[in-house]
Amino acid sequence: MPYIDYTSQGGTVPNGGHFRANLKTGATTGLTAGQPIASLRWTDTAHLFVLLGIKAWANINTAFTAAQLVDLEAFAVRQYTAVDSGGTAVLPITGSSTVWPQLPRMRDVGGNAMGPTLLNDLRIATTGTLTAGTRLLDGTGFAIAQFGSSNALGNAAEVEMYKVNPGNDQALVLGANEGIVFQVPTAQGAVGKVVYYINLWWAEVVAY
Nearest to residue 147, comparing CAs of 190, 181, 186? Answer: 186
Q: What pLDDT score does 3 carry?
A: 45
Give residue 1's pLDDT band: very low, low, confident or very high (50, 70, 90). Answer: very low
Nearest to residue 190, comparing CAs of 17, 14, 63? Answer: 63
Chain-wide mean pLDDT for the chain? 88
77 touches 179 (CB < 8 A): yes
Between residues 114 and 138, the one the model is more confident about: 138
Beta strands in 127-177 (DSSP E): 134-137, 143-146, 156-163, 172-174
Q: What pLDDT score does 185 carry?
A: 96
Between residues 36 and 9, the one the model is more confident about: 36
Angle at 54 between CA 201 and CA 191, to 5 degrees: 130
pLDDT tens digits for 61-95? 999 999 999 999 999 999 999 999 999 999 876 65
Q: What pLDDT score does 8 carry?
A: 53
Angle at 65 between CA 30 and CA 33, to 5 degrees: 30
Q: What pLDDT score does 7 carry?
A: 56
Q: What pLDDT score does 9 carry?
A: 53
Give the HSE-up count for residue 120: Cα atoms under 13 Å, Cβ half-sphere: 21
CA 95 → CA 130, 149, 175, distances in Å? 23, 39, 27
Least-confidence region, from 90-104, 113-127, 155-169:
90-104
How much is the pTM?
0.90
Q: What pLDDT score does 92 carry?
A: 79
- 3-class state of residue 87 by DSSP: coil
pLDDT tens digits for 23-58? 999 999 999 999 999 999 999 999 999 999 999 999
Q: What pLDDT score does 96 carry?
A: 52
38 touches 23 (CB < 8 A): yes
204 touches 15 (CB < 8 A): yes
